[in-house]
Structure 1
Amino acid sequence: MLKPVATLGYMIATFATGDAADPASGAPPRLSQKDGASMARQDGITLIESLIALLLISVALLGVAGLQLLTLQDARDARWRSDAVSLANSAADLIRTRPENADQFKVEGADETIEACDGGDAAICERMETWLDDITQALPNSLAAIDVQQSDGVERVTITLRWRQQPPEADDPLPACGSEAPSGGCVMLETRL
């Protein structure tokens, strides 16, 4: 019967250190002084590698935190847009309940003057004031306008809601419909009665 001359561990140890181990006793090869010095340097490299890994993980976590912040901002903007569309639709529904008095639903100007409140129908005035209060609660720094135009026997209603997170200033007004706003928006609903 043939005896195995070397085991896999023996071959790896011999290749790595250059020292031959005794295959019969199974003793590992001895490490030379030079090998001990390289092991000590290996400890320092491991520490540096750990610090670099920690730095990379920190940068990745900062990226995830930034992405989470953008996600929260987008969710807030989406909620504002959804609220604006819902409020515009509710105004259109209010006008459809009384199409013969559509002109009294007009809301104009920066002070949001309601046509019905200037000597018109008190019920329409009250409904529109409630609608404007709902807009103020749902949308930051908002401005609403409702315009009623009649052409060729058809009444067209345009409901515009504009808002912005920061208060508008003279050099940075509320966004116009159709333009990009950094933190705000505009919803325009046009319908026929």
Structure 2
Amino acid sequence: MKQPNFPSIARQNGVSLIEALVAVLVTALGILGILGMQMRTMNNTQAAVRQAQAIRLVENLSERLRMNPNSFSSGTASKYLVGWGDNGTQVNCTNGCDSATLAQWDIEQWKKNVREILPLADANVFFVNDESGTSAGNNRQLGVMISWRENESAGVSEETNFNKYFRLSSRNASGAVVACPAGRTCYLQFIQLAARCTANSNSGVARPYCADGSVKQINNS
């Protein structure tokens, strides 16, 4: 007796197998897409956290300036200046120190905090170019640029595309460019030097009148 042939059933089984494979492939691609989005979100969150950390570091330096009684004086303000790769001068203020030495201690401790908080971080503190004609002792503003390395898992081209929005630059008092190092993300902010005396004018001479009753003359800018 001749056995019946069922070609339609075989074709249906083959189509069902292909449909199942396509469904598995689409599901796998969807999962990979979701994972990619989550990874990118984590990277963006990490970048935002580091920006916030850089802001807090600048605020910390600003507070150190306010705590130094004479940070605006020529012998003290210049001690806060520090370039890329310069970790400052190690001094000991355990038993107290004058304003200039306190400034050295502040900047050395501050740069240590920068290196510890941000990955492969560095900082540059400089007098701003707007005060290029200001005489010594009359500088009132500092530029602070902090750089760090983003641990991006993407390729160089994507990393460069990300960092280009943070390619900050400025100029110091001598006119030299202070630029964000290559391959780094940077944050730039300007802060005021502290002066505990209220500025006033007497016979055309700028004088700060201090709370303790003393009068200290500073040069006209």
TM-score by length of 2: 0.56
Q: Which structure is higher in helix share?
A: 1
Q: Alpha-carbon deviation of 1:164? A: 1.8
1:137 aligns with 116
- Find the counterpart in structure 1 of residue 200 from structure 2: none
Query: TM-score, normalised on structure 1?
Result: 0.64
Q: Distance in 1 between matches of 2:22 and 2:70?
A: 74
Given the alignment, which residue of 141, 156, 176 partners 2:141?
Answer: 156
Residues 81 and 185 in structure 1, CA contact (< 8 A), matched pair in contact too: no
Using CA pairs under 8 Å that are at least 6 residues apart, name the structure with larger relative contact order, 1 or 2: 2
2:26 aligned residue: 56
Corresponding residue to 1:78 among 29, 42, 48: 48
2:168 is aligned to 177
* 8 Å CA contact retained: 1:107, 1:113: no
Say which of 106, 124, 141 aligns to 2:80: 106
Say if 1:180 and 1:63 are closer, same or farther in 2 by CA, change over 3 A. farther
**Dislocated runs of 4+, deviation >3 Å:** 113-117, 119-124, 148-154, 178-184
| Identity within the alignment, % | 20
Aligned with 1:145: secondary structure? strand
Q: For residues 74 and 181 of structure 1, do their structure 2 counterparts lie closer, same or farther at Cα, with a shift above 3 Å needed? A: farther
How many equivalent pairs are there?
Answer: 152
Q: RMSD over aligned Cα, in angstroms?
A: 3.4
Farther off after superposition, 147-156 or 137-146: 147-156
CA 1:182–1:71 in structure 2 vs 1: closer, same or farther (change >3 Å)? farther
- 1:192 maps to which residue? 192
CA-to-partner distance for each residue in 1:14-49, whole Å, 9 max, x for gaps?
A: xxxxxxxxxxxxxxxxxxx78x53233212211110
For structure 2, which runs of at least 5 residues remain unmatched after alignment? 92-97, 152-159, 161-165, 170-178, 194-221
**Residue identity in the other structure for 1:133:** K
Superposed CA offset, 1:118-177 (max 9, x none) = x974433333222111111111222212224654956112111111237xxxxx9xx741
Q: Distance in 2 between matches of 1:181 and 1:115?
A: 23
| Consecutive unaligned residues in structure 1, runs of 5 or more | 1-32, 167-171
Larger Rg: 1
